[in-house]
Structure 1
Amino acid sequence: MTTATLSDDPRFTGLFEAARALQPRTVSLRRQLHKHPEEGLDLPKTQAAVLHALEGLGLHISTGEACSSVIAVMNGEKSGPTVLLRGDMDALPLREDSGLAFASETDGSMHACGHDTHTAMLVSAARLLNSRRDALAGKVVFMFQPGEEGQHGARYMLEEGVLEAGGRPVEQAFALHITSTAQSGVVMCRPGPMMASADAYTVTVTGKGGHGAMPDRAIDPVPAAAAMVGALQTMVTRRFSVFDPAVLTVGRITAGTTSNIIPETAELEGTVRTLSDQTRKLVQAEIPKVCGHIAAAHGCTATFKINTGYPPTNNDGTVAGRVLDLASVVLGSRNSALMPEPLMASEDFSYVLQQVPGALAFLGACPPGVTPDEAAPNHSNRVHFDESAFAHGVALYAAFALDALR
């Protein structure tokens, strides 16, 4: 169906207004979660809050064994396919300095990436869809996921059967991610690569320790490590296409204990981001080659370790286009924007999108009084999200399910 046809669909009539009517509930749950953040895979308080918020909606609810996940399944009035909507729930190890009245009460922990907002919006979307079950031909799986911030929570939920929780395999999946650095209420999506893979690597250079006054009697690993930094950057610019990029950063170099000792080892640690599996494999193969040859040229040896993170997040082209059409119809054309380029951060919703056609979209929530360029970004201890954008997210979650289960 075209955007024009969607605009005539009675199922979307009043959807945004219904989401706005739920705003007090959405904000209340979000603030409760924000005040009591939990990190990682074990989120007992957050899980309990979600379960309480879903009470009375007639959902089939199950919880995870490997992590504090919640899966809630809604049956439509008629049979049909199954769609999945995801909201992540975990916080970050950060001391909040936002000045909000509902700031974190847990020292050193903060919802700095907006996962509290995702969870609250998804709960309200479930409430909204519950009032419109007669328009659903199929099932909706609400995926409340812990451990997105590096703990592979989505992978655990996949292993525990989230895609089969509705009794038949999920056919489409959708997730929203809020951002403070985009205009409030605007939904941004794109087909193909949406976010990057994220891998961490460590290179250990081994030489021969000695006295700093007699380097000729030692084999200094420090110059070898220093040479590797420039060589790795050159490798990226000369071995990889600008149209399928790799971003490589050396974030830490460690060597030695004091000024007059040549250490035996030096260590480099960094991150690699790519947008395709092909480039990801190539860069993982090239780093040890470059570092190994440079180490040998300096009389040293080098060992390489890779800590594999999330794969690239790739949106299905049809589903991504549909998300933008739905945003235009339900929220207004000014609130639907094609994202011009991928974001080189990573997301574990990528695991879901490896198995199911779907899309991840960004929801702008730049706070009042500042421009998106001035706003504290996600992962900042001062980040603040405009709560009026929540209704946009609730409405879009609901619209996606209503459209897929027509």
Structure 2
Amino acid sequence: MSVIDDASALRDDLVRLRRALHAEPEIGLGLPRTQEKVLAALDGLPLELSLGQGLTSVTGVLRGARPGPVVLLRGDMDALPIQERTGLEHASRIDGAMHACGHDLHTTMLVGAAHLLAGRRDELSGDVVFMFQPDEEGCDGAAAMITEGVLDAAGRRADAAYALHVFASGVPHGVFSARPGTTMAASDGLRITVRGAGGHGSRPHRAKDPVPVACEIVLALQTLVTRQSDIFDPVVLTVGSFHAGTLRNIIPETAEFDATVRTFSPEAKARVRQAAITLARSIAEAHGLTADAEYLDGYPMTVNDPGETAFAAETITDVLGEERFEPLENPLPGGEDFSRVLREVPGTFVLLGAGDGRTDNHSPLAVFDDAVLTDGAAVLAELALRRGQPA
């Protein structure tokens, strides 16, 4: 039987696991119930298992029958602070938490790959590291796992690393997609606090109102992006949080806002960092106020190795057919902490269409199709199996 056939035989078990994970999502670095489900699903497999110390990660190592490379496969496990509104039978039972980005599918596909590879251990050249990672969404779980040694879990540094990520829209259903080079943007933060002098709302001339100044800075940042950034090396800057004041007739002392900044090159990042800080401080000064401006480094750009990306494309088309892989034309402005792994190990980050195209990831209405689970598990397993074969 082929790996695809073996994966199909696992379908019911994978669907049950995925729906159990979806119904009980957890957020952040501490995912005890998710960890428990993963360990139960891996029980009985010939894996060397270790648990994270500062986070509820699971790392498994499968030793192949013959010498060969170390291949790392990653699945992120965390959910988002979103109230689910899908109405699904297996919808989240946890108030304010939802697997709206498909990480429950990633975890399940990695469990499936572990079962498939354990069943073909005699065919496996080299070792496979299974990286079950908490908190991709906010606290840099990949960096924490790297610090705790996941890249060297097999006793030596991984030679190649692969991850899949499902998308509710933007990628055709059931199609895998990847590109060499920059694939996802750097994801950074910009925090601005405008400081003025409070007073009565009826007498603004007696105060130094930070609210209109902060609003002016927000609008000026949008102009900065369009007028100081190369359209072929774009910048995305979005203000997602703005806070000021307590009552409508009180001029507050401060107004503050936070923005996300997405860039696709080190040069663009350096330009927007300096320009945004200068702009905020200068506008505030022009109005007789001051501004504290802080640029917060986040996830770096996700950069796919050209050779590993070509290998992944060849594997997918060989296993599933040419129609199941499409080159990704342009990088995506989302951020991803698998970038941390790819800075240390050559590998590739592959997209997989798993929705109906009507909603985006991170939507309370996002729905992902269980039908992709077996193909995702099979692709991960095939990447590990074939990476150890002679060219």
Task: Name the TM-score class by shorter chain.
Answer: over 0.9
1:385 corresponds in structure 2 to 368
Does residue 16 in structure 1 map to residue 7 in structure 2? Answer: no
Deviates more, 1:165-174 or 1:386-395: 386-395
Shift of 1:323: 1.3
Shift of 1:110: 1.5
1:316 corresponds in structure 2 to 305
Show structure 2 runs of 5+ residues with no match: none
Deviates more, 1:13-22 or 1:350-359: 13-22
Letter in 1 for 2:120: R
Deviates more, 1:250-259 or 1:345-354: 250-259
2:272 corresponds in structure 1 to 283
Does residue 305 in structure 1 map to residue 294 in structure 2? Answer: yes
SS of 2:313's equivalent?
helix
SS of 1:38's equivalent?
coil
Does residue 123 in structure 1 map to residue 111 in structure 2? Answer: yes
Shift of 1:198: 1.6
Deviates more, 1:205-214 or 1:224-233: 205-214
Shift of 1:331: 1.0
1:170 corresponds in structure 2 to 158
The verdict on how the C-alpha distance between 1:298 and 1:356 changes in structure 2, with shifts beyond 3 A counting, is: same
Deviations 1:306-334 (A, max 9, x none): 33321111111111122111111111111
Q: Is the 8 A contact 2:237 2:259 kept in 1?
A: yes
Q: What are the equivalent positions in structure 2 for 1:141-152 lying under 5 Å apart?
A: 141-152=129-140
Work out the CA distance in 2 between the residues paired with 1:261 and 1:400. 61
Identity %: 49
Work out which of the residue numbers 175, 192, 202 in structure 1 matches 2:191: 202
Shift of 1:223: 3.0
Q: What are the equivalent positions in structure 2 for 1:7-406 lying under 5 Å apart?
A: 14-181=2-169, 182-367=171-356, 372=357, 374=358, 376-406=359-389
Q: Is the 8 A contact 1:210 1:262 kept in 2?
A: yes
Work out the CA distance in 2 between the residues paired with 1:321 and 1:84. 17
Letter in 1 for 2:272: V
Work out the CA distance in 2 between the residues paired with 1:102 and 1:61. 29
The verdict on how the C-alpha distance between 1:252 and 1:96 changes in structure 2, with shifts beyond 3 A counting, is: closer
Shift of 1:209: 2.7
Deviates more, 1:81-90 or 1:43-52: 43-52
Shift of 1:216: 3.3
Task: Give the TM-score, by structure 2 length.
Answer: 0.95
Shift of 1:243: 1.9
Shift of 1:276: 2.2
The verdict on how the C-alpha distance between 1:18 and 1:279 changes in structure 2, with shifts beyond 3 A counting, is: same
Deviates more, 1:220-229 or 1:139-148: 220-229
Work out the CA distance in 2 between the residues paired with 1:37 and 1:268. 29
Q: Is the 8 A contact 1:180 1:383 kept in 2?
A: yes
RMSD: 1.6
Show structure 1 runs of 5+ residues with no match: 1-12
Shift of 1:287: 1.3
Work out the CA distance in 2 between the residues paired with 1:255 and 1:63. 43
Work out the CA distance in 1 between the residues paired with 2:250 and 2:19. 53
SS of 1:83's equivalent?
strand
Shift of 1:80: 1.6
SS of 1:198's equivalent?
strand
Deviates more, 1:206-215 or 1:43-52: 206-215
Q: Is the 8 A contact 1:277 1:311 kept in 2?
A: no
Work out the CA distance in 1 between the residues paired with 2:157 and 2:284. 50
Number of aligned residue pairs: 388
Task: Give the TM-score, by structure 1 length.
Answer: 0.91
Shift of 1:180: 1.6
Deviations 1:171-213 (A, max 9, x none): 1100001112132211011111111122222211122233444
Work out the CA distance in 2 between the residues paired with 1:91 and 1:252. 21
Shift of 1:215: 3.4
Letter in 2 for 1:390: L
| Moved segments of 4+, more than 6 Å | none
Deviations 1:353-377 (A, max 9, x none): 111111111111124xxxx2x2x22
SS of 1:237's equivalent?
helix
Q: Is the 8 A contact 1:82 1:141 kept in 2?
A: yes
Shift of 1:266: 2.0
Work out the CA distance in 1 between the residues paired with 2:15 and 2:98. 17
